[in-house]
Amino acid sequence: MMQQNDPKEPAFWGQLLMVGLPGPRMDAQARELVRDLKVGGVILFARNIEAPEQVWELCRDLQKEAMAASGVPLLISVDQEGGPVQRLKAPFIIIPQARDLGISATPEEVEDLSRRVARELALVGINMNLAPVLDVPRSPACPLWRRAYSSDPERAARYALAAIRGYAAGGVFPVAKHFPGLGDTMADSHEVLPRALSEDAKREADLLPFRLAAAAGVPAVMTAHLLVPKWDDRPATLSAAALQDWLRRRLKFQGVIITDDLEMGAIASQLPVDRAGREALGAGADLLLICNNYDAVWDTARRLAGDASLLPRAQEAAVRIRSLRERIHLPSHGLQEVTKYFRQAAE
């Protein structure tokens, strides 16, 4: 069931948003997003992280506000892939880049490492890791080369599935990204809209890891800001062909579809964030990611509230998101346990 708010009000739609926060502590802006807008999730960046104890306190405060506002825990996420993309630095586990793990480690070792990483995230109150990367890069010219396990689809899938199992066993939700695969691109979606170069309309090499992850029950998939000309003339994040036909119908994925950041250049160069959010939800995305701009978050909620045609799609998305949020186990330990763990880890 959706929260009992007026669908003409932005707070009805906040549960469909995952947002960035301004700083490392609960401040007026963060409180407004969680208490008043009732966002479904937050994403933490370096600006939100000082020390394990501080992250625990921030997550505790966020969950208190979320429980008071909606009665259901908040999704608290982070990009903790490894290599160049890991927001939590020492004393947290430092994760090698996926490319190196795919060469020098076994899937079993990746699963064990992912489990240990997840336990640290869960210890400080983070319940979702926006990882692993399932892309299958063709060459070092692909921006995902270092962040992906392998250029061989089957090998990439084995390692990604191992990471998914490890994160789940360690107590956090894994997120498979970036559907439908950025491996056949040469441009960085943070800056411009990449174009898929493969002539294979079925994208078999790129979709194999996602197909297996969906079959294994991965709880969430993140979209790619990627143009696949064989499918559509719209980026996958905004494409019903990509999200509803391919991901839902053909790959039979039943979990939460999360967009990549709608402020990235690939999307923001074409559409304002609020309009992109409306298009993504209409195309089949469930949770809309807006990482930086506080005003854009509210603008998006207001635009969604002003479009009655989105209500059936919003109700469908909200059921998936709430189901996932209801599976969150809030930490029962105190700050002393966090301090003790990281002190021992440093010895």
Residues forming the active site: 190, 260
Q: Which of 339, 329, 306 is nearest to 126 (CA)?
A: 329
Instruction: Return the half-sphere exposure (C-beta side, CA atoms, 13 A cut-off) of residue 140.
Output: 0
Residues facing residue 86 across a β-bridge: 80
Q: Which of 98, 197, 83 is nearest to 141 (CA)?
A: 197
Is the alpha carbon torsion for 291, 296, 302, 307 positive or negative?
Answer: negative
Q: What are phi and psi of 275, to 5 degrees?
A: -70, -40
Q: What are phi and psi of 217, to 5 degrees?
A: 85, 25
Q: 128-129 and 173-179 as β-strands: parallel, antiparallel, unpaired?
A: parallel
Q: Which of 342, 347, 339, 327 is nearest to 74 (CA)?
A: 327
CB 269 within 8 A of CB 301: no
